[in-house]
């Protein structure tokens, strides 16, 4: 029984890691898409071209604290 419980815990950790990796990849894609918006759309969002490009350069691991589990 103990080994089965250990496998379940290990499996849960892997799922958590995979989810975090997928979240980081999605965040990277979103940041790149932001940088590709034209200046009028960025202005609608209240961002400058420089701010969008700076955001696009951030790592996928550099997520806001409230996103981290």
Packed helices 2-36 and 49-57: angle between N→C axes, nearest 10 degrees: 150
Q: Determine contact, residues 19/26, Cβ cutoff 8 Å.
A: no
Number of alpha carbons in the 13 Å side-chain half-sphere of residue 18: 6
pLDDT digits (tens), the chain, 69 positions: 455 555 555 555 566 888 888 989 999 999 999 999 999 999 999 999 999 999 999 988 888 777 765
What pTM was computed for the model? 0.68
Residue extents of the structural domains in the chain: 2-62
């Amino acid at each position: 029984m103990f080994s089965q419980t250990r496998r379940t815990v290990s499996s849960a950790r892997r799922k958590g890691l995979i989810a975090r990796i997928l979240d980081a990849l999605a965040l990277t894609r979103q940041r790149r898409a932001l940088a590709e918006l034209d200046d009028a759309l960025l202005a609608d969002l209240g961002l400058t071209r420089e701010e969008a490009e700076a955001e696009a350069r951030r790592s996928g691991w550099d997520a806001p604290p409230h996103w981290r589990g």
